[in-house]
């Protein structure tokens, strides 16, 4: 049976509509899938990026743990740390070393880099202890024992934050110490004691805690101690400014603060 022109036009329209339905469904599904893919690389406000963070030597162990935690919660982001004495890090920044953020072990060093950084924020605090050989064979009980000429004492150099803190507390107690060496960072001081090349040294409490089977930590009373502050800031030369700012902000988050406290650091 032949179709009239009107019926033929109706049939063509119906067929076209039937063919368009699956195409419309596919287009909608692809759009949803695309928007979902865009949301997966990293958490809101923290774009995925490869970040380089310059950090004080005393943060070596805890920042490795913090970095792993951050990468886990921010897919697509990779953090590479460069650890050194704060004074060495400052020199690297001034020389234009490619990096995204900086964390020092004192505010003095960070303050000297105001032209190179964003606004710093204190993320943790620390204090000093006397590190001795395991078992404390020389029976070092307090700061004044470090003045014993028979005792081999090692300190950090005075331009290093822990060296300045050490000088500050020794001068306050009018204790004169002649160190057998002055080291470029706190881990070098700790290593001298661990290896038996020194009988005692002044280090951060958190550093002594990394070698509990090799050194003993003799507490220093609060009234005789110094508090180290750790400021963190983005670097103005960062090519990943938004991602760097997100990481620095995260260091003050409950997750990061728990990691720092578990390692022995004090709250800021």
**Lowest pLDDT segment from 8-17, 38-47, 96-105, 135-144:** 8-17
Residue 135 tokens, joined: 């078992």
In the predicted structure, residue 6 carries a pLDDT above the cut 60? no
Contact yes or no for 162/156 (Cβ under 8 A): yes
- Whether 50-125+229-262 and 126-227 share one fold: the answer is yes
Average pLDDT over residues 14-34: 37
* Segment 29-85, tens digit of pLDDT: 333 333 333 333 444 557 889 999 999 999 999 999 999 999 999 999 999 999 999
pLDDT at 48: 85
- Asked whether residue 28 carries a pLDDT value surpassing 70, the answer given is no
- Residues 6 or more apart in contact with residue 243 via CB below 8 angstroms: 42, 46, 47, 48, 49, 51, 77, 100
Whether the CB-CB separation of 62 and 263 falls below 8 Å is answered with yes
User: What CA–CA distance (Å, rounded) separates 251 from 257?
Assistant: 7
Residue tagged 């700790």 (tokens): 190
Say which residue, 64 or 18, is predicted with more confidence.
64
Lowest mean pLDDT among 1-15, 45-59, 84-98, 227-241: 1-15
Task: Read off the tokens for 141.
Answer: 């009980």
**What integer pLDDT is reported at residue 68 of this predicted model?**
97
Distance between CA 217 and CA 100 in Å, rounded?
35
Structure tokens at 92: 């690297």
pLDDT over 50 at 21, yes or no: no
Residues 85-97 have pLDDT tens digits of 999 999 999 999 9
Q: How large is the average pLDDT for residues 183-195? A: 97
Please report the pLDDT score of residue 219 as a whole number. Answer: 97
Average pLDDT for 219-235: 97
Average pLDDT rounded to a whole number, residues 177-203 = 97
More confident residue, 229 or 14: 229
Residues 108-128 have pLDDT tens digits of 999 999 999 999 999 999 999
Q: Which residue has the higher pLDDT, 22 or 206?
A: 206
Distance from C-alpha of 51 to C-alpha of 42, rounded to nearest angstrom? 14
Q: H-helix or E-strand containing 126?
A: strand 121-133
Q: Strand, helix or coil at 229?
A: strand
Lowest mean pLDDT among 19-28, 173-182, 184-193, 248-257: 19-28
pLDDT of residue 14: 45
The residues pairing with 126 across neighbouring beta strands, listed in sequence order, are 228
Q: 70 or 22: whose pLDDT is higher?
A: 70
Kindly indicate whether the domain formed by 50-125+229-262 is annotated with CATH number 3.40.190.10.
yes
Helix (H) or strand (E) holding 234: strand 227-234
Average pLDDT for 167-192: 97
pLDDT for residue 167 is more than 50: yes
The pLDDT confidence band at residue 195, using thresholds 50, 70 and 90, is very high
- Structural domain boundaries in the chain: 50-125+229-262, 126-227
Residue 80: predicted pLDDT: 98
Mean pLDDT, the chain, whole residue set: 87
Specify the CATH class of 126-227 in words: alpha beta
């Amino acid at each position: 049976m032949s179709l009239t022109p009107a019926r033929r036009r109706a049939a063509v329209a119906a067929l076209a509509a039937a063919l368009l339905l699956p195409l419309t469904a596919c287009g909608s599904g692809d759009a949803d899938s695309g928007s979902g893919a865009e949301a997966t690389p990293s958490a809101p406000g923290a774009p995925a990026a490869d970040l380089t963070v310059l950090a004080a030597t005393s943060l070596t162990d805890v920042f490795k743990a913090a970095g792993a935690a951050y990468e886990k919660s921010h897919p697509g982001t990779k953090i590479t740390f460069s650890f050194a004495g704060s004074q060495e890090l400052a020199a690297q920044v001034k020389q234009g070393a490619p990096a995204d953020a900086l964390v020092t072990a004192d505010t003095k060093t960070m303050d000297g880099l105001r032209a190179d950084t964003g606004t710093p924020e204190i993320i943790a605090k620390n204090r000093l202890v006397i590190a001795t050989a395991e078992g404390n064979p020389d029976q070092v009980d307090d700061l004044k024992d470090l003045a014993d000429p028979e005792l081999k004492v090692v300190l950090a150099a005075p331009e290093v934050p822990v060296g300045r803190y050490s000088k500050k507390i020794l001068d306050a107690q009018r204790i004169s110490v002649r160190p057998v060496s002055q080291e470029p960072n706190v881990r070098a001081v700790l290593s001298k004691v661990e290896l038996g090349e020194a009988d005692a040294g002044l280090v951060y409490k958190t550093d002594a805690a990394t070698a509990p089977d090799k050194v003993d930590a003799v507490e220093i009373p609060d009234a005789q101690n110094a508090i180290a502050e750790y400021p963190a800031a983005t670097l103005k030369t960062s090519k990943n400014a938004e991602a760097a700012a997100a990481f620095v902000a995260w260091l003050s988050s409950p997750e990061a603060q728990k990691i720092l406290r578990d390692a022995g650091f004090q709250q800021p």
